[in-house]
Structure 1
Amino acid sequence: MAPQECHLTALVLISVVAAILGSLQVGYHTGNVNAPAKIIEEFFNQTWRHRYNETMPDESLTLLWSLSVSIKDFGALLGCLGVKFVADNFGAVPVLINKGQEDEADAALLRLRGRPEPVQAELEEMKGEAAHIQASVGVLDFFRKRSYRQPIIIVLCVNLGSQLSGFNAIINYSTRMFQANFEEAKYLTLGVGAVNVIFTLVAFFLMERAGRRRLLLMGFIIIAMCNLLLTVIDSLVQTVPELGSFQVLLVFSLISAYELGPGPISWFIAGELFDQPGRSIGMAFASMLNWGGKFLLALLFPPIYKVIGGFSYLLFMAMALMGFAFTWFRVPETKGRTFDEIAEEFRGAENLPLHNKNGFNTFP
């Protein structure tokens, strides 16, 4: 949306806090399974020995542990199936607008903003956007509509590049990565969480200044470089233990780069690329890609690492480079643009090269 003068109201504050607390527990459970890994694996082993009077096969233990780490992501993936229903039926302002209930939308926005001036501006923007679009879009229509094809491809590539670039492998298994060279690996895992939080806050302040596209490009290329160096370090650290500290630095750098751009942007970019009827399905689609990518990486990283070792980081590097290349050529800059302006770029322009459109895909 175009920048509006901000006015903090109690409802805005409550909404922000609720959103933050909702994601906080997800982040907590993503990282907290790291530290007790050995205890949980020993529990699996003891249970197996009690039942079968033998040690649990290593392959089975690896699979069971990775499934334990990833199962919450699969649950979140299933939960994404209900995003459209909840957004369309309980989302205050978009549904009042989509259903032609302008008075209800005005009242809801007034409660949210606290003053009539920004409310009128937002309503005018929504009505201007609604003038070009149909009232509602079904799931099949969403994937068939010509003007949605480019946004769908953008959301798909940005999310897969982000979620499969290695961040989720590190955030889920950092303790195990550090244990080979550090006795108190759990404290380094706390450091990973701290860096994650700090650079999420940094991204909050940079997002509107630097722009989404620039942060995506910077994040993807740094992640790719970190993965390449992690491959080298992994092959040398056993013979040169001093490189362990450099490994920690690379992990912290990768986490920082992810949270500066690909991490947060992959979640909300769908909301900026789709018009009102398609926005709820677009957000559900992006959420499914996010959680699906997290689930696959958390599930498959341990067995893949067991087979190819540090070369698994090269797979992450390839995904990050894919994200970088796609962003460079195809992802528009959405900073400072209204939803209608962005949608207009896609409307009826499926075959136009977006990176050549004046002012659309350039650095500010």
Structure 2
Amino acid sequence: MSSTDPLREMPNAGKSITKLLCLETAAIVVGSSFQFGYNTGVINAPQAYIKEFLNETYYQRYQTQITSSTLTLLWSFAVAIIAIGGMLGSLIAAPMSQKFGRKKSLLLNNILAFIGAGLMGFSKLASSYGMLIAGRFVIGLNNGINMGIAPMYLTEISPVKYRGILGTLNQLGVVSAILLSQVLGLNWVLGTDELWPLLLGLTAVFAVFQTCTLPFCPESPRYLLVYKDDEEESRKALVKLRGKDYDITEEIDSMKEEYEEEQKERSVGIIEIFTTSYLRKPMIIAIVMQLSQQLSGINAVFYYSTPLFIAAGIPEEYSALPTVGVGVVNVVMTLVSLSLIERAGRRLLHLTGLAGMFVCAVVLTITLTLQVDADWLSWFSLVPVLLFVASFQIGPGSIPWFITAELFTQGPRPTAISIAGLVNWLGNFTIALAYPPLNELIGGFTFAIFAGLLALFWIFTYLRVPETKGRTINEITAQFRSAVDEYDDNKKFYNSSTKL
């Protein structure tokens, strides 16, 4: 019998999923994706206690009672300010990650997480609602940077075979953290008048975990090769991530080829992307897709579902339980969507999700407006809310980001994704700020507005959004180029005919 192990002679016989890769993935997902998800859901359950805090501290400062409309505006601003920070953070993320690298950028970003957690956690002790608002803004800045870097970092450290699976952990981390925040926000856990500052301040735990684990992990091999032009360090990082028995030659060569392709295509600025005819159409599609996610009304549920259930007639002591149910549906349907996305296609899933949300918004409008005369409708309102969230995760929850990345080649893609991210955060801010006063003004009819917007987004998707499943990026972009060329040819023919 030969003493030579045939597995050792085979390239990549070793395991590409190593303990270090698992540690680095956990550091990124928990420290970044969880951070974003937690701060999206955490403000929901303790709303009544935080509004009372705003009321008390306003009186201490101005020696006068705050009006109901001013309190609503102050509360909605405290919720929405995280999106302003997110917008700024999303603009900082790309240049920051290129200058400092993916790893160091996330570690530096944790400073913002600690500052934000401290401001929110000690706001009640200091009797300062300004600290609470400032803390939400700072943590929003942290979230914007995290969500600009974490998905990219995950993609760059993943083996090609497992890139899709590890890449989807970012979205799964977000929805899992939303659920965690909703469970911790129950009034028999941390959602109390005394403990809500601790509930908000716990966001520092994710930063602590990342700060303690990420230093033991390597930088992105792609960053080291492409941006630092350091092939030796890139090889060392890959060996650590893949294991000593893994043949990294093919992966290094692939990164080199990718870099060479990127160098062939120049970058495109914001003005050019809107003035170039074959780029303008996909950019408009990307923007409307992002708006279809944020203006669908989903954040009215994520931010305000507890008071929504109270308004629907569900007893206040039980109102947090349906909110947890929303979180569970959110996680389950994210897993379902991720399993379907390569089978059903992006366009079909998005249309299905928008249609489901439209129906639920109509039903919710009816139940919220009629429940005053029919008490039995109170608990029935749970059904359209849960199905609303489920429909969101089928398509609008993730498809807009897939579509945006697939509509552009390497040159214009970074600019397009930055614009899309800015629009996404702007939509987030608009709903977070506008929903509470709008709900006070027209009540359940607020969801009639969402239903109208969802109908418009469905029509736009049906008429304008192409299916990208199974098509290369070059094939997709060629479709827009050919459409422009055909339009130009028809225009020339028309002009020549009129001259005759």
Out of 447, 459, 464, which is 1:330 matched to? 464
What is the rounded CA distance, in whole Å, between the counterparts of 1:222 and 1:255 in structure 2? 9
Q: Per-residue CA shift, 1:104-129, capped at 9, x if unaligned?
A: 89959966776545665676577567
- In the alignment, structure 1 residue 319 sits paired with structure 2 residue 329: no
What amino acid sits opposite 1:182 in the alignment?
Answer: I
- Is the contact made by 2:314 and 2:379 (CA closer than 8 Å) also made in structure 1? no
Corresponding position of 2:435:
301
Residue 62 of structure 1 and its aligned partner are, at CA, apart by: 0.4
Q: Report 1:82-101 matches (<5 A).
A: 82-86=92-96, 89=99, 90=101
Distance change in 2, residues 1:274/1:87 (3 Å): farther
Residue 78 of structure 1 and its aligned partner are, at CA, apart by: 1.1
What is the rounded CA distance, in whole Å, between the counterparts of 1:14 and 1:128 in structure 2? 31
Q: Per-residue CA shift, 1:155-200, capped at 9, x if unaligned?
A: 1111111110110111100000112322210121111112112211
Q: Per-residue CA shift, 1:255-286, capped at 9, x if unaligned?
A: 11111111112233222211112221122112
What is the rounded CA distance, in whole Å, between the counterparts of 1:200 and 1:56 in structure 2? 41
Out of 13, 21, 39, which is 1:29 matched to? 39
Residue 47 of structure 1 and its aligned partner are, at CA, apart by: 1.9
Corresponding position of 2:474:
340
TM-score w.r.t. the length of structure 1 is: 0.84
Q: Secondary structure of 1:347's partner?
A: helix
Single out whichever of 323-332 and 112-121 deviates more from structure 2. Answer: 112-121
Single out whichever of 155-164 and 16-25 deviates more from structure 2. Answer: 16-25
Corresponding position of 2:274:
143
Corresponding position of 1:362:
none
- Is the contact made by 1:84 and 1:281 (CA closer than 8 Å) also made in structure 2? no
- In the alignment, structure 1 residue 175 sits paired with structure 2 residue 342: no
- Is the contact made by 1:74 and 1:291 (CA closer than 8 Å) also made in structure 2? yes
Corresponding position of 1:252:
386
Residue 72 of structure 1 and its aligned partner are, at CA, apart by: 0.9
Q: Secondary structure of 1:148's partner?
A: helix
Residue 326 of structure 1 and its aligned partner are, at CA, apart by: 1.4
Corresponding position of 1:42:
52
Distance change in 2, residues 1:73/1:55 (3 Å): same
What is the rounded CA distance, in whole Å, between the counterparts of 1:145 and 1:254 in structure 2? 37
- Is the contact made by 1:98 and 1:277 (CA closer than 8 Å) also made in structure 2? no
TM-score w.r.t. the length of structure 2 is: 0.62
What is the rounded CA distance, in whole Å, between the counterparts of 2:36 and 2:460 in structure 1? 29
Corresponding position of 2:414:
280
| Aligned-residue RMSD, C-alpha | 3.1
Q: Secondary structure of 1:263's partner?
A: coil
What is the rounded CA distance, in whole Å, between the counterparts of 2:24 and 2:460 in structure 1? 34
**Percentage identity across paired residues of the two chains:** 37
Q: Report 1:1-364 matches (<5 A).
A: 8=17, 13=22, 16-21=25-30, 22-86=32-96, 89=99, 90=101, 115-117=248-250, 133-134=265-266, 136-180=267-311, 181-183=313-315, 184-347=318-481, 349-350=483-484
What is the rounded CA distance, in whole Å, between the counterparts of 2:472 and 2:92 in structure 1? 27
Residue 347 of structure 1 and its aligned partner are, at CA, apart by: 3.5
What is the rounded CA distance, in whole Å, between the counterparts of 2:29 and 2:431 in structure 1? 24
Larger Rg: 2
Single out whichever of 14-23 and 87-96 deviates more from structure 2. Answer: 87-96
What amino acid sits opposite 2:348 in the alignment?
Answer: R
- Is the contact made by 2:353 and 2:396 (CA closer than 8 Å) also made in structure 1? yes
Q: Per-residue CA shift, 1:293-350, capped at 9, x if unaligned?
A: 1111000001111122211111111221122111111112222223333233233643
What is the rounded CA distance, in whole Å, between the counterparts of 1:51 and 1:118 in structure 2? 61
Higher relative contact order (CA 8 A, sep 6+): 1
Q: Per-residue CA shift, 1:55-104, capped at 9, x if unaligned?
A: 21011000001011111111101111123424555476877898896968
What amino acid sits opposite 2:352 in the alignment?
Answer: M
- Is the contact made by 1:109 and 1:119 (CA closer than 8 Å) also made in structure 2? no
What amino acid sits opposite 1:196 in the alignment?
Answer: N
What amino acid sits opposite 1:41 in the alignment?
Answer: K
What is the rounded CA distance, in whole Å, between the counterparts of 1:339 and 1:105 in structure 2? 31
Single out whichever of 253-262 and 75-84 deviates more from structure 2. Answer: 75-84
Single out whichever of 248-257 and 329-338 deviates more from structure 2. Answer: 329-338
- Is the contact made by 1:147 and 1:347 (CA closer than 8 Å) also made in structure 2? yes
What amino acid sits opposite 1:64 in the alignment?
Answer: L
Residue 11 of structure 1 and its aligned partner are, at CA, apart by: 6.9
Corresponding position of 1:360:
none
Distance change in 2, residues 1:349/1:280 (3 Å): same
Q: Secondary structure of 2:411's partner?
A: helix
What is the rounded CA distance, in whole Å, between the counterparts of 1:30 and 1:241 in structure 2? 31
Q: Secondary structure of 1:286's partner?
A: helix
- Is the contact made by 2:262 and 2:411 (CA closer than 8 Å) also made in structure 1? no
Structure 1, unpaired ranges of 5+: 1-5, 354-364
Q: What is the total number of aligned residue pairs between the two structures?
A: 346
